[in-house]
Amino acid sequence: MEKILIALFGGGTLDWEDISRTNYDWEEIFSRLKDEYGYGNDFRNVDINTIYREILEMALEDIEEMFENCSDEKFKHYLECNVKVREDFDIYTNCLDTHLTWIGDQYIGEKISEFFKDEIEEINNKIGFTYVDFD
């Protein structure tokens, strides 16, 4: 199976071993890719890095949801005023160098990582091959 994936989407055996650790639903991942790229020629633009990116986009959605569901109204308001998830996180996909990194204000990143420690650990477990980096 690995050889088929490598032939279709590139990468190497270590990349596919790495990405196979995700706990996001593969059917949803490929459904989202299909919706974005369609079938045929457009789907040929999907490679292992596109798959990594889609998984990390799902993680960003989980982070946005985590902020929306914040039980501390004061902190929730603080986040709404000071954090733009799509701007304050960087997704870099290059096979084994793939990461999701906080690039916003360092102080705010420290507060987020402390306040949402358990939720971030859960998101990291869902990602499986990397983690949300606040350092």
Residues 78-105: what's their mean pLDDT? 95
Q: In this model, does residue 39 exceed pLDDT 90?
A: no
Q: Quick: pLDDT tens for 15-30.
A: 898 999 999 999 999 9
List, in order, residues 6 or more apart from 129 with CB less than 8 Å away: 18, 19, 21, 22, 52, 55, 98
**Could you write out the three-class secondary structure of the chain?**
CHHHHHHHHCCCHHHHHHHCCCCCCHHHHHHHHHHHHCCCCHHHHCCHHHHHHHHHHHHHHHHHHHHHCCCCHHHHHHHHHHCCHHHHEEEECECECCEEEECCCHHHHHHHHHHCHHHHHHHHHHHCCCCEECC
In this prediction, residue 41 carries a pLDDT of: 61
Report pTM: 0.91
Q: Please, what is the average pLDDT of the chain? A: 92
Domain containing 83 equals: 2-133
Structurally, the chain folds into a number of domains equal to 1
Q: In this model, does residue 122 exceed pLDDT 70?
A: yes
